[in-house]
Structures are given as C-alpha cells and as structure tokens.
Amino acid sequence: MCGAFHQFAMGLREFIKDYFLGFWDYETPKVMVVKNKTLGVIYRAVQFLVITYFIWYVFISQKAYQESETRPESSVYTVMKGSAVHGDQILDTVEYARPSEGGDVISTILRREVTYDQMQGTCAEYFHVANANCTTDSDCVQGEVDFDGHGRRTGRCVQYYNHTFKTCEIQTWCPIEEYAVEREPALVEAINFTVFIRNSIHFPKFKVLRGNIKDASNKRNLHKYLTRCHYDEEKEPYCPNFRLGYIAERARENFSELCRTGGVIGVFINWKCNLDLDPSHCKPTYSFRRLDVRKDQASSGYYYRFAKYYSKDGIESRTLIKAYGIRLDVIVHGHAGKFSPIPTIISTVTAMTSVGICTIICDWIMLTFIDKNEIYSDRKFDEVIQEPKVPISTELSYINSYGSNHSDLSEGVPL
C-alpha cells in the first residue's frame, strides 16, 4: 500500500513539474508550403466563402460598420373618421369609435347586440347557468351568487319568462341579456371608415426626429392633403389615413367575418434608417397582422359591453350594448445606424481573424486524410530544446522526399 502511494505521489510530482515547465514554453507557427492542388482548391474555396460572408452579409447586409440604436422614443396619435347610416340613425365617430381620440389603441364598432330597458329587479336566471334549473323553491339557495350567472338568488323557483320550465329567481338587471337581446345587422359601411395614425419617432443618440406625415409648405396645403389622401405603399407612402377595408385586406382577413366576430389587428410601423444618407430618406413602412388567436373559438374575436343609463320619475334604467368590432394596436419598431470607426475596426479585425479558420481546416485535412500524413506531421511540428550550434536558415522552405529544401514531397499525393 505504501509503495503504491509513493509511486502515485512521484507520478503526480512529475506531472506537476512537466506542466509547470511546459507553461513557459513559447509556440510559433511554422510556414510549410504543400504543393497539393486538391488541398489548395479547398483552402481557396474556404477563404472565398469566409470573405464573401463578411463582405456581403456582415458589412453590406447587416452594416456592421455602423453604430446602431434600436430603442427609439415614439408617440402615436389616432383618430377614427367616417359616418354611416344605420336604419333611421346617422352614426358618427362618437357612436362607434372607442375612444374617439386614441393613442396606440383604437377600436370601432362593427355590430351590436342590444338589450333595451333593463331595470333593477327580480327575474328568472338564464337556464344555461349551472344549477339554475329547478322544480321547487328548495332547489334554489337564498343569497347564493354564481359568478358565471347574472345576480344573487332569492330562493324562489319561478317560470322562465314565457316558457314552461322553471329556473331560480335572481336579483339583477332585468330582463337578462340572453333572453331579451336584439341583434342588429352589421355596419358594412365601416369598410370605408378611415383611421388617421400620426407617429413621430426620435433617435436620441443621433439627435434625429422623424414623422410619418409628409412635409408641406404651409398648414393649409397640409390640411388639404390630409383630407384627400389615402395610404398607398408606392403612391402615397407619407399619407397617414388608412381605410379599414385596406387594413383587413393587408392582414388577409375577411371583413364580413370581422363584422360577425370582431378581431384584433396589429398595425406595425417599422422605421429602418440609414443615417449615413440624408434623414429625409428615413421613411416608415407598414405591415398588418391579426393578433388574436383564431383557432380557439372561445377566446377569438373582439367584443366588449357598455351601457347607456336613463332616469325617469326617479326610476333608473339602462340599455346594455354588446359591441363587436375591430381593435387596432399600433406597434412601432425603430432601428437607426450611422458610420462609426469603433464597430468598423472591430468587424474588420473579426473578419481578418476568421480567415484563420481556413488554415485550421486544411491542416486537419492534411494531417488526417492525405497519404504520408505522418511525414507532414513530423515536418510541421518541431521541438527546439536549445539553440543549435549550426545556424538554421530562415528562408521559406519546401518539403521534398530527399531532405533538400527546394522540391515538393506532396506532388502526386492523392487525397
């Protein structure tokens, strides 16, 4: 046991000694020219791919020579415009836009389900609510509140309006929505409504402020332009007026289906600015996409409820409105770049360093797959323990099979 421990300790001592002495060794690459056409083609091909990657993708496409800013300051102001005839009523923005003047979110009503003349009182619970159906008063617990239902139970079992079956009586706004609701036709004229979107963006690092509205010589000309124009990607890229029909079309949505179920559409404003050019070339681009999940029918679409309250002879009543519509979420992305020497130097050094991967790949091929790889290995790796007495020539040498310095050992050596 003692002998084994002594042997282990001596081995560990030698390992530590060799590691410590080897730590102070200096390594320098040795230049060796191998005249092998196949290896040369591989070397130049890898070089070409690396250089092409850095020139085309890194410098031209990604503009790695620029200093960039990706979190600009932005503001959004939206207004819905348009009017429609709905039966005998004329609807304007106050009736269908929520809010009438919005920020980065605005919605418009496309279809309504209305319950008129609701008043506080007692009435039958909706029969689809859990445990709402009953035959006697003992089936209804007084004071119980079902949060999926409409109100507080009185403990009585009553006839469900003009039907033959019974449900538990509740204290709530009566009559309940599911029984008395009136479904109005869709507001198909809303396809021509327009939403005005004003966006300004500021890149504080470069002190550049841009807006998505076309500059005009005076306010009168600007106002005239804004009242007549509609956004077009090619003809009117600076017009901030968007038709709802155009937005639905670009989002690949059917407007009639949106009128039925409602939906949430994202309006993406993308600013990608190359500030090496004049800031006037910094223009926004727009894209549109449906945001709510359509696969889940229970949670898809967009609707909300609100009420209009009235008071007559001290009795309060209300009209409950369930509104289906389009909600527009305006989302702004910004990226600006400008030439800077620091990222240019970093990217250039990275590119030059990455070219070294070509040598690593070709060395691995040469030492692994080429015939006579042991000869290459012996010639490539030398260990100099002490200075030789005879001076060694520092000229670049070629490997040959006879030991001289001026012919090629690798001629005719296949991969």
93-138 pLDDT, tens digit per residue, is 888 888 867 789 999 999 999 999 999 999 999 999 999 999 999 9
Report the run of H or E that residue 42 belongs to, with start and end: helix 37-52
pLDDT, one tens digit per residue, over 5-64 is 767 777 777 778 777 777 777 777 767 777 778 888 888 999 999 999 999 999 999 999
- Check if the beta carbon of residue 358 is closer than 8 Å to that of residue 46: yes
pLDDT, one tens digit per residue, over 334-374 is 999 999 999 999 999 999 888 888 888 888 887 787 776 66
Burial of 266 (0-12, 13-18, 19+ CB in 10 A): middle
Q: What is the pLDDT of residue 262?
A: 93
Residue bearing the bigger pLDDT, 254 or 402:
254
Average pLDDT over residues 162-170: 93
Question: Is residue 320 very low, low, confident or very high in pLDDT (cuts 50, 70, 90)?
Answer: very high
d(CA 302, CA 293): 11
Report the run of H or E that residue 44 belongs to, with start and end: helix 37-52
Residue 179 has pLDDT above 90, yes or no: yes
The amino acid at 30: K
d(CA 26, CA 19): 13
Question: Is residue 382 very low, low, confident or very high in pLDDT (cuts 50, 70, 90)?
Answer: low
CA atoms within 13 A on the CB side of 282: 23
Residue 247 has pLDDT above 60, yes or no: yes
Q: pTM score > 0.85 for this model?
A: no
Q: What percent of the chain has pLDDT over 70?
A: 85
